Structures are given as structure tokens and as C-alpha cells.
């Protein structure tokens, strides 16, 4: 679902061939990889509202990279999982706005046959600081925990770093996979696999609740929007408001029709 479809490429070919006959505006975007991939799949809808434009993704990496591109005016829009720091705001030499367009969450999966009922944040801490190596504490079985992750990047490790254990240093010894399919395959192969990814990544497996004061909280739209799920986070569109096309894009991204489509990707959106 994340990959740009063949129909999207065909649409782009037709769109570009038509656009060359008139004045074409280019919108430059940098952002977190998986969020940009979602937006790519919805671009035909944006082009329907702005036929004489082309969207160029300058980088599809992580939030720090996107913010750097934005500050240096290399892009018109940054798609991020946090906003500019006070220090970075002082570096911006143009008018801009920061708008939350969705919420997502960092979630954990195990094999369907695994009987784990949930983790507390302190237990996750024990696993990812490599103080706990096996499942004996959780299932009574002395099997090594096989860690996998998709996607690994600053945006996701930051959620652990900030929300799970108050900025304490940790290390991650996990197999990093490149696609959701690879994540799914690794999860299916071993009963003792533990993987983390975004809520918007569609995976079939045992979705592990987080225990907060002994209360089991599953990541879903209600718990993510309310903040009850402790590893939820916001997704932002940061726009150079001096660029007309950038303003049109942010208006489109925050429109009710787009928010309905974002829910298809398990992104929890505020209703207008």
C-alpha cells in the first residue's frame, strides 16, 4: 500500500505532458519517508485541484533532514513528526505556519501465537537497553527476543527516547527491514519476534498493548487522538506561507476529504 502504484506513474506521465504546454509551478517537499509515501499516493487528488503544478520530493528521509531543508529554503513544505525548536525558529527568514494534520503512534507487534498480554514502558526500556534478552519474564519461556524494526529513523527512536523513559540513553539491537512486507515475513517466521513500527503500517500480527498503571491500552483512533496511548505523536505540515502553491497544498492536506483518505492508512485525524 505504501509503494507508488503503476496508475500513479501513468497519471504523472499524462499530467506532465499536459503541463508542458502552460506555465508550471513546482512545489518542493521534504519529509519523513513513510508520510511522504502516503502523500505520494494521494497526489492525483491534489493535481486535480492544481493542474498546472508539479510536486517534487527533495528528500524522503526523516524530520531533522526535512526541517534543515525548510530552514535553508530548499523546500516549500516540510512533512514532519515534530515542529521547529525555538532555536530553529530564529533561523527562519520567511513567514511560515505549522499545522497538525494527523496523529500516528509507535506500536509493537509479536507473532499471533505469542501469549504476551502487554508491556509497560519500563519493560520496553529493559528490552531496548538490552537488560532483558528473553521472554521468560513475560511468557515463562526462556527464548531469546528477536527484535525487528520498520522503519528505523530519528522520528521513531525519538518516540522511545522522549516518551518511554524520559530521555535516558538507550541502544537498539534490532534487525532493520526496508519494507512492510519484510517486516511481516520476519514476524511470521518466529514466534518470539518483537517488532516496532508505525500504527499506519498495515501488519497482521498480535498488536501488543501498552500497560499504563496496570491498565492495558491498545493503539487505536480513540487512544491515539486522546493521548492515552503513550507512544502517540503528531504529524505536521510546515508551510512557507510566502509561497502561494505551498498554501494551496496545506489547505488541501487539511481538508476533510483528505483526512478521510488518511484514515485509510490508519492515520488518526481530527474531524473539522
Buried/exposed 176-205: b ≥16 CB within 10 Å, e otherwise: ebeebeebbebbeeebbbbbbbbbbbebeb
Residue 185 in any domain: the answer is yes
pLDDT of residue 116: 81
The answer for residues whose C-beta is within 8 angstroms of residue 145's C-beta and 6 or more apart is: 127, 132, 133, 134, 135, 192, 193, 194
d(CA 226, CA 219): 11
Q: 271 lies in a domain?
A: no
CA angle in degrees (0–180, nearest 5) for 185-189-191: 125
What is the domain-level CATH number for residue 187?
A: 3.40.190.10
Contact 50, 44 (CB under 8 A): no
Domain that holds residue 124: 104-226
Residue 269 counted as domain residue: no
Q: What pLDDT does 155 receive?
A: 72
**Are the C-beta atoms of 64 and 104 separated by less than 8 Å?**
no
Determine the number of helices (DSSP H) and then strands (DSSP E) in the chain.
11, 12
193 lies in some domain? yes
Phi and psi at residue 257, in whole multiples of 5°?
-65, -40
> Does one domain contain both 211 and 254?
no
Q: Are residues 174 and 163 in the same domain?
A: yes
pLDDT of residue 220: 92
**Which pLDDT score is estimated for 167?**
54
In angstroms, the CA 232 to CA 219 distance is 8
Q: How far apart are CA 137 and CA 186, in angstroms?
A: 23
- Same domain flag for 207 and 113: yes
Answer yes or no: do 213 and 137 share one domain.
yes
Does 151 sit behind a cis peptide bond, omega within 30 degrees of 0 on the bond before it?
Answer: yes
84 and 47 housed in the same domain: yes
Same domain (yes/no): 147, 83: no
| Residue 38 covered by a domain | yes
Residue 217 shares a structural domain with residue 117: yes
Q: Is residue 219 part of a domain?
A: yes
Q: In this structure, is residue 272 part of a structural domain?
A: no
Neighbours of 95 (CB within 10 A): 10
Domain contains 60: yes
Do 154 and 77 belong to one domain?
no
> How big is the chain, counted in residues?
272
Co-location of 49 and 131 in the same domain: no
Q: Is 81 exposed, middle or buried (0-12, 13-18, 19+ CB in 10 A)?
A: buried
User: Do 213 and 113 share a domain, yes or no?
Assistant: yes
Q: What is the pLDDT of residue 97?
A: 98
**3-state DSSP call for residue 5?**
coil
Q: Nearest CA to 259 among 21, 109, 42?
A: 42
pLDDT of res. 10 = 46
Looking at the fold, whether 120 and 31 belong to one and the same domain comes out as no
> How many domains does the chain contain in total?
2
The number of angstroms, rounded, from the C-alpha of 243 to the middle of its chain's C-alpha atoms is 25
- Helix spans in the chain (H): 6-19, 33-49, 63-71, 86-89, 121-128, 136-139, 154-159, 180-189, 221-226, 244-253, 256-264
The whole-model pTM stands at 0.84
Q: Are residues 94 and 16 in the same domain?
A: yes
Residues with pLDDT less than 70, the chain: 1-22, 152-154, 157, 159-173, 270-272
Amino acid at each position: 500500500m505504501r509503494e507508488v502504484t503503476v496508475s500513479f506513474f501513468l497519471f504523472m506521465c499524462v499530467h506532465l505532458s499536459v503541463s508542458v504546454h502552460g506555465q508550471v509551478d513546482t512545489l518542493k517537499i521534504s519529509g519523513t519517508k513513510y508520510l511522504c509515501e502516503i502523500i505520494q499516493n494521494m497526489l492525483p487528488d491534489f493535481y486535480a485541484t492544481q493542474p498546472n503544478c508539479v510536486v517534487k520530493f527533495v528528500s524522503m528521509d526523516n524530520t531533522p533532514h526535512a526541517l534543515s531543508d525548510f530552514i535553508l529554503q530548499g523546500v516549500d513544505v516540510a512533512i514532519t513528526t515534530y515542529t521547529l525548536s525555538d532555536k530553529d525558529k530564529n533561523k527562519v527568514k520567511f513567514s511560515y505556519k505549522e499545522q497538525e494534520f494527523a496523529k500516528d503512534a509507535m506500536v509493537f507487534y509479536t507473532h499471533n501465537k505469542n501469549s504476551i498480554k502487554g508491556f509497560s514502558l519500563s519493560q520496553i526500556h529493559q528490552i531496548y537497553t538490552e537488560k532483558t534478552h528473553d521472554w521468560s519474564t513475560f511468557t515463562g519461556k526462556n527464548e531469546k527476543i528477536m527484535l525487528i524494526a520498520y522503519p528505523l529513523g530519528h522520528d521513531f527512536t525519538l518516540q522511545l527516547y522522549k516518551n518511554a523513559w524520559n530521555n535516558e540513553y538507550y541502544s537498539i539491537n534490532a534487525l532493520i527491514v526496508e519494507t512492510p512486507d519484510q517486516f511481516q515475513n520476519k514476524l511470521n517466521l518466529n514466534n518470539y519476534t518483537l517488532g516496532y513500527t508505525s500504527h499506519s503500517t498495515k501488519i497482521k500480527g498480535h498488536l501488543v498493548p501498552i500497560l499504563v498503571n496496570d491498565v492495558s491500552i491498545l493503539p487505536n483512533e480513540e487512544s491515539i487522538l486522546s493521548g492515552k496511548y503513550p507512544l502517540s505523536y503528531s504529524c505536521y505540515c510546515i508551510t512557507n506561507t510566502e509561497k502561494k502553491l505551498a498554501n494551496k497544498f496545506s489547505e488541501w492536506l487539511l481538508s476533510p476529504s483528505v483526512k478521510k483518505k488518511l484514515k485509510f492508512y490508519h492515520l488518526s485525524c481530527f474531524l473539522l
